[in-house]
């Protein structure tokens, strides 16, 4: 009964666009960035929390999730999705398909013992990105005390160490502005052969969404 009510509440909330992801999907749709595109949802969970905001725009939708028990629920929530039970951070080094839209809804700190935020998967997104790509990821420009109290591993020593490894000296890893953060990602994408041509930030809670539209940089050598 409780799970039925939860499911109904979630569906109602989606119908009312009551989740922060809708600010992102509205921006993507308004700019015509995701209609009829191929999608990769790299950390799918059950597929019921945020994918409903953009799933309907996909011409092809692939969902990766490490937990085998969730595969059936993904299929139920996203019936046309191609579901792979896999470690996304390894899968992304092997898959041969390329995508127009890549969604990285990774955990908020260190996870799986060795991974952290989108830091281990983003470097390999460029090998599976089409020339025009949208990447949606979670970022943490800062963490208010209330969130650190609620999630004690957020911004703990291990997490901050990984943040320093990824952002280097380019960012203050404890607190920075959206402008400073996008400057980092513009540089990062450029070093990986892509120019960010548009972007959108939106706070969801402790995490903030960063959606970027990027274009492959054409080499000048004819
Ligand atoms: C933050 S949740 C994703 C939520 C999902 N996007 C949604 O809206 O419902 C992260 C998910 O990633 C999965 N996960 C964790 N490590 C993974 C890995 N290495 N490869 C694939 N999935 C992983 C977890 O099991 C969890 O379901």
Q: Is residue 67 within 6 Å of ligand 1 at its C-beta?
A: yes
CB neighbours of 73 closer than 8 A, spacing ≥ 6? 46, 47, 48
Share of the chain above pLDDT 90, in %: 93
Q: Alpha-carbon distance 45 to 77, whole Å?
A: 11
Q: Is the pLDDT of residue 221 over 70?
A: no
The one-character DSSP state at 9 is H
For the CA of 112, the nearest atom of ligand 1? 16
Residue-wise pLDDT for 93-103, tens only, equals 999 999 999 99
Domain spans, the chain: 19-140+178-216
**pLDDT averaged over every residue in the chain:** 96
Residue appearing with tokens 């595969």: 71
Quote the tokens at residue 143: 């963490």
Q: What pLDDT is attached to residue 151?
A: 93
Q: What pLDDT is attached to residue 120?
A: 98
Check if CATH label 3.40.50.150 holds for domain 19-140+178-216. Answer: yes
First vs last C-alpha separation in the chain: 65
Q: Alpha-carbon distance 124 to 137, whole Å?
A: 14
Q: Is residue 89 within 6 Å of ligand 1 at its C-beta?
A: yes
Residue in 69, 59, 115, 60 with CA at minimum distance from that of residue 92: 115
Q: How confident is the model at residue 222 (pLDDT cuts 50, 70, 90)?
A: low
Residue-wise pLDDT for 112-122, tens only, equals 999 999 999 99
How many angstroms is it from 220 CA to the middle of ligand 1?
39
How many angstroms is it from 112 CA to the middle of ligand 1?
10
> Residue 12's CB: how many other CB atoms inside 10 A?
10
Probe target for ligand 1 pocket from 20, 21, 44, with the most ligand atoms within 8 Å of CB: 44
Q: Is residue 66 within 6 Å of ligand 1 at its C-beta?
A: yes
Q: Alpha-carbon distance 206 to 187, whole Å?
A: 25
Q: Is the pLDDT of residue 186 over 70?
A: yes
DSSP three-state, residue 96:
coil
Q: What pLDDT is attached to residue 90?
A: 98
How many angstroms is it from 120 CA to the middle of ligand 1?
14
Cα angle 127, 142, 145 (rounded to 5 degrees) comes to 140
């Amino acid at each position: 009964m409780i799970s039925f009510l939860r499911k109904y509440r979630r569906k109602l909330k989606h119908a009312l666009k009551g989740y922060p992801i809708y600010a992102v999907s509205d921006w993507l749709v308004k700019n015509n960035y995701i209609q009829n595109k191929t999608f990769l949802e790299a950390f799918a969970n059950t597929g019921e929390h945020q994918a409903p905001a953009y799933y309907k725009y996909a011409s092809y939708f692939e969902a990766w999730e490490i937990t085998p028990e969730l595969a059936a629920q993904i299929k139920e929530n996203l019936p046309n999705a191609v579901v792979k039970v896999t470690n996304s951070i390894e899968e992304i080094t092997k898959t041969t398909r390329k995508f127009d839209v890549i969604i990285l809804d990774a955990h908020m700190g260190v996870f799986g013992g060795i991974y952290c935020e989108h830091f281990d998967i983003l470097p390999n997104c460029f090998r599976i990105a089409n020339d025009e790509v949208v990447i949606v990821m979670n970022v943490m420009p800062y963490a208010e005390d209330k969130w650190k109290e609620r999630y004690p591993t957020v911004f703990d020593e291990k997490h901050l160490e990984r943040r320093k490894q990824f952002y280097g000296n380019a960012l203050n890893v404890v607190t920075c502005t959206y402008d400073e953060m996008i400057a980092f990602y513009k540089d990062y994408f450029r070093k990986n052969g892509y120019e960010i041509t548009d972007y959108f930030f939106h706070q969801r809670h402790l995490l903030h969404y960063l959606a970027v539209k990027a274009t492959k940089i054409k080499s000048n050598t004819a």
